[in-house]
Amino acid sequence: MFLAAEIGMRDGESVVSLIVKHLICFCGNNAAVQLKRIAIKNLINVCISTPKLFLSPQILKIMDSAFKEESDISLQDAVINELGTFLELEEKKTIERNGLDNKDSKTVELDVQVFHGRSASYVNDGICASLVQRYLPHVLRNCLYDQDEHSLKAIQFLQLIVRVGFANPKLCIPTIIALESSNVLLIRQVALTMHEDLFDKHESLIESSYVDGLKMAVSYRKKFVGGKNLIHETGFLKNFVKVSHSDSKTTSTKKFLKMLWRPLNTLDTEDVFEKSQQELADVRDYLYFIVANFSGVTLKNQDENKVPKRKIIQS
């Protein structure tokens, strides 16, 4: 039928490859943004039906181009949305494959294809992990783009990959911490849920990135309220400490409180005059933000109360 229609299909060529070939024509730099967005969306949908196409250099190049600085943000939204759809479908397949019913290992036969890494499910898991690794930096950046539609799409994608475990928690937690400082309730709640999840599963892995997250939170809030108004930002640390208090041990909160004041160590009297104005301004803004937020923190015991006092004196 397709051959008879004379639409450029060659003998032995699959319908999928024909569709991809035609869609790629509308993904070039000269295409109008609206047309290109629709073409990319449909191209990724075709790849979802045939996941190995995601490994095609030509298709990867098209998706990569959507994340270039000069690209329209709507193209990035399209890629993130459709990749999210792919990951959700693969998650459902995994749940269906593993089943929710109990299986006796004595009665379940070994899937030889899975064992040797040749089954479609095994290959698709590898494709999912590869795509997440490739585009995670762009997704994390877009999470902090604004507090509106564009960031919400990226945040939803981040929430998905955190839930299914495709992302490195250490790479994700700084952005998640920054999102916890948002004054948009939905964003703040989603970020806190992700933080709690990672804290329960990977506490020792993520705690070393807390300071990076706090600095990112300061930059994030400065973008929306300006540096001078950081002193009026409150409530962030209160929620943050609640996460560490969810652990029955007191060591988690004490570790965090020690890290909290670490950036002040850069202000040693010996080299403070060697710092640039921007570096000093960054420390000042960090201090404004932390002090304003710390006033709302409730600590559990005297040991926790001593930590900030000791760290401030040392600084």
| Mean pLDDT across 149-177 | 94
For the chain, the C-alpha Rg in angstroms (whole number) is 24
Classify residue 278 as exposed, middle or buried by CB count within 10 Å of its CB (0-12, 13-18, 19+): exposed
Best CA proximity match to 265, nearest among 230, 306, 209, 312: 312
Structure-block tokens of residue 266: 């850069």
pLDDT at 113: 46
The Cα angle at residue 229 between residues 281 and 220, in degrees rounded to 5: 70
pLDDT, tens digit (0-9, with 9 covering 90-100), for 252-266: 888 888 888 777 766
- The span from the CA of 162 to the CA of 136, in Å, is 11
Residue pair 245/251 in contact by the 8 Å Cβ criterion: no
Q: How far apart are CA 40 and CA 26, in angstroms?
A: 8
* pLDDT given for residue 232 in this prediction: 85
Predicted confidence (pLDDT) at residue 171 exceeds the cutoff of 60: yes
Residue-wise pLDDT for 39-70, tens only, equals: 999 999 999 999 999 999 999 999 999 999 88
Q: Is the pLDDT of residue 114 over 90?
A: no
Biggest CA–CA distance in the chain, Å, is 83
Per-residue pLDDT for 11 more than 50?
Answer: yes
Buried b (16+ CB within 10 A) or exposed e, 42-51: bbbebbbeeb
Report pLDDT for 249.
Answer: 60
pLDDT for the residue numbered 108: 42
Look at 270 and 178; give whichever has higher pLDDT.
178
